[in-house]
Amino acid sequence: MIKKRGKKAVLVIEDDAESRNFMARVLELEGYQVLQADNSEQGIAVARENHLALVLLDLQLPGHDGGVVLVEVRNTPSLSTIPVIVITASAAALQRERALGMGATEYLVKPLSAASLREAVARILSRQRGSWNEVKEGTYSGSG
């Protein structure tokens, strides 16, 4: 996959096309490189193949639950430090606890505004910068 230098890659995993398009468009407008997946398996595959800065994950996915992606990311050494923002239609505290317990970095509830999405992504990426750079260096030298 060809990458634009200097652009951070964000993966959006969401089954609803409209919702996915909206998130992808906002993030593109914010200057990120956006990758998309509409189910868990595809999401995991894309995450493994690309050097990601962040994952946006809808927990309610067809087939496997979005939790599978979260667990997979956290259990894969090369992916484990990638921040994951979980997006769900449920504001229930239980869902939130479950997501954070499984290793989600942030938890957002639908419906999302462009601003809340933008701000959450920016906040996390700035917080993660230090550790991110180190990983970035190592991964780059490895992939050639």
Q: Least separation, in Å, of the C-beta of 121 and other proteins?
A: 14
Which of 79, 112, 125, 135 contacts other proteins by CB under 8 A?
112
Whether residue 88 contacts residue 58, with contact meaning beta carbons closer than 8 Å, is answered with yes
CA proximity to 91, closest of 103, 99, 80, 83: 99
Cα separation, 116 vs 136, whole angstroms: 26
Which of 64, 96, 98, 110 contacts other proteins by CB under 8 A?
110
Q: Decide whether 118 or 136 has the Cβ nearer to other proteins.
A: 118
Asked whether position 93 contacts other proteins by CB under 8 A, the answer is: no
Asked whether position 81 contacts other proteins by CB under 8 A, the answer is: no
Which of 19, 50, 78, 128 contacts other proteins by CB under 8 A?
19
CA proximity to 88, closest of 11, 26, 19, 21: 19
Q: Least separation, in Å, of the C-beta of 110 and other proteins?
A: 4
Q: How far is CA 10 from the centre of its chain?
A: 6
Asked whether position 80 contacts other proteins by CB under 8 A, the answer is: no
Q: Least separation, in Å, of the C-beta of 49 and other proteins?
A: 21
CA proximity to 16, closest of 37, 46, 30: 37
Is 83 buried (19+), middle (13-18) or exposed (0-12) by CB count in 10 A? Answer: buried
Binding site for other proteins (CB under 8 A): 15-19, 21-23, 25-26, 29, 38-39, 60, 62-63, 89-90, 110-115, 117-118
